[in-house]
Amino acid sequence: MTTSDYEIKISPESHKLARWWVIFAVTIFTIASLYSTYLLLNSSNLIENTPLTQSIFTTNINLSTSIWFLSCIGGLWTISTIHNIGKFDWLALFLTIIGAAVIAAMPFISDDITILNKHIPIIKSDYFFISLAIFASGIISAAFATLARFKTNQSSPILTKDISSILKMGIGYTSVIILIAMGCFFLAYEEIKLLEKDHALNDAEYYNLFFWGGGHVLQYAYIQAMVIIWIIIAAASGINLKINRGLLFFVFVTYTLSTIPAGYIYGTNEITSYAHKNFFTTHIRYIGGVAVIIIGFFILKDFLCSKSKGTKKTRHLRYALIFSLFLTTIGIIINFTSYNLETTPPHNQSLIGGITLAMMGFIFYIMPKIGFAPIKSLLASFTIITYASGEILKTISFIWAEILKASPLTDLTIIGNSLTIFAALIFLTTTYRSIFPKNRYSKY
């Protein structure tokens, strides 16, 4: 098999929509970085606390995780499309952008209380809930549009020998996982309504229960998207992949099917029960890392055995792959060894860093293919290395704190945060130069 076997052919019809998904993703990442800068200055006592601080903290978490990941997945859905881009696809993107824009502006719209939970922190404001609903409706619409096209446009992955068809199938299945997650949110809402007839819940209890199941299922979509991106950028960076198409088919189908019991658990166990909560923590601990372990192993094997060292033009993709693999592996190891997944941050820190690096690599990879100027590899490589270094330092800090049962190493965390923020600014510069190219930048 050649590297081109793993390349997804992008239809010219999908270029315009894909460009807007990419611009949206880059904008979200940029705003999150600006908020991170404020929080870093605040934690360093260079800026005093203001009524905005907690709202910015909450908004930053949402922008830099769920909204950023889902916007990148929206771009991934678009490039897997052969044809039939229509008004419904543009409506989905419009709703997603409007919802995200209001969420991003929440610190300046409302000073209501914030409620933290494991997955999607809340600002208790009608504006926030309406914008979150609009954003979710956009993602749901895009997921349904992807499924509809997948059903009508794709040849059966079982019958074809084309590996890119298997990858498109995996991309299509991420929409299934996200729809299951949205279904879990709806079931949680119905369960909580019944529960509150007999037992009043405080805000923290309410939103922990509401986001617990669906939030865990969303992680499966992020991980499956990340694994697909690994394969795409590994091949694009010159690694001679030899992953069996049957193995890919098995992993994607099994991984997607494993999320279906999430809906069943709502009907068989009370939402406040230990069995309900333990199902999702155990599920993500032992099954969530399966795709990472299997596909990651074969990519690493092929990387070590590959005679091709890649080219200077693709080295940033290889850096994104290597560091994403490393951080995600650390997160999976901690996932298996941690006994308190609700309160232990290192696995989340390293997994989020690993997924983010993969998404950055995807943005760098896709931009020249949908009509933007070629990415400047030197800047992109520097971005990846700097961001990865920051995430590694933060992970070390939190692991140190967990082992010694102490506070994280403040200085190390501040250095790590500084590096990731600096990398985000370089990321903005690199992508801006691709969107708005100028000849004077060509020497870079």
Predicted pLDDT of residue 161: 63
Structure-derived torsion over alpha carbons of residues 51, 70, 317, 440, reported in degrees to the nearest 10: -60
Q: How far apart are CA 329 and CA 322, in angstroms?
A: 11
Q: Is 104 left (phi over 0), alpha (psi -120 to 50) or beta?
A: alpha
DSSP letters of 7-22? Answer: PPPPPGGGHHHHHHHH
Instruction: List helix spans (H) across 159-238.
Output: 163-195, 203-236
- Interior CA angle at 409 toward 404 and 413, to 5°? 140
The residues pairing with 123 across neighbouring beta strands, listed in sequence order, are 114
Query: CA 46 to CA 429: how far, in whole Å?
Result: 26
Domains parsed from the chain with CATH numbers: 1-153 (1.20.120)
CA distances from residue 416 to 248, 358, 378 in whole angstroms, order as listed: 35, 19, 21
Q: Which of 435, 333, 314 is nearest to 19 (CA)?
A: 435
Answer yes or no: are the C-beta atoms of 45 and 117 closer than 8 Å.
no
Q: d(Cα 422, Cα 383) in Å, to the nearest integer?
A: 8
pTM to 2 decimal places: 0.92
Q: Which two tokens stand for residue 185?
A: 């949110």
The closest of 367, 335, 372 to 351, measured between CA atoms, is 335
In b/e form, how buried is each residue of 205-221, taking b as 16+ CB within 10 angstroms? ebbbbbbbbbbbbbbbb
The widest CA-to-CA distance across the chain, in whole angstroms, is 68
Separation CA 348–CA 334 (nearest Å): 9
The tokens describing 322, both together, are 């290597």
pLDDT in tens, the chain (444 residues): 566 678 888 888 889 999 999 999 999 999 999 999 999 998 887 888 887 899 999 999 999 999 999 999 999 999 987 667 788 999 999 999 999 999 999 999 987 789 988 889 999 999 999 999 999 999 999 999 998 877 655 555 554 567 888 999 999 999 999 999 999 999 999 999 988 887 888 888 899 999 999 999 999 999 999 999 999 999 999 898 889 888 999 999 999 999 999 988 988 888 989 888 888 888 877 788 888 889 999 999 999 887 766 778 899 999 999 999 999 999 888 877 764 545 444 447 789 999 999 999 999 999 999 999 999 999 999 999 999 999 999 988 888 777 766 666 678 888 999 999 999 999 999 999 999 887 544 443
CA 384-216-220 angle, to 5 degrees, is 55
Query: Which residues have a Cβ under 8 Å from the Cβ of 226 and sit 6 or more positions away?
Result: 292, 324, 328, 354, 355, 358, 359
- Paired sense of beta strands 122-123 and 114-115, if any: antiparallel
Residues 53 and 379: their CA atoms lie apart, in Å, by 32
User: And the tokens for 235?
Assistant: 């091949």
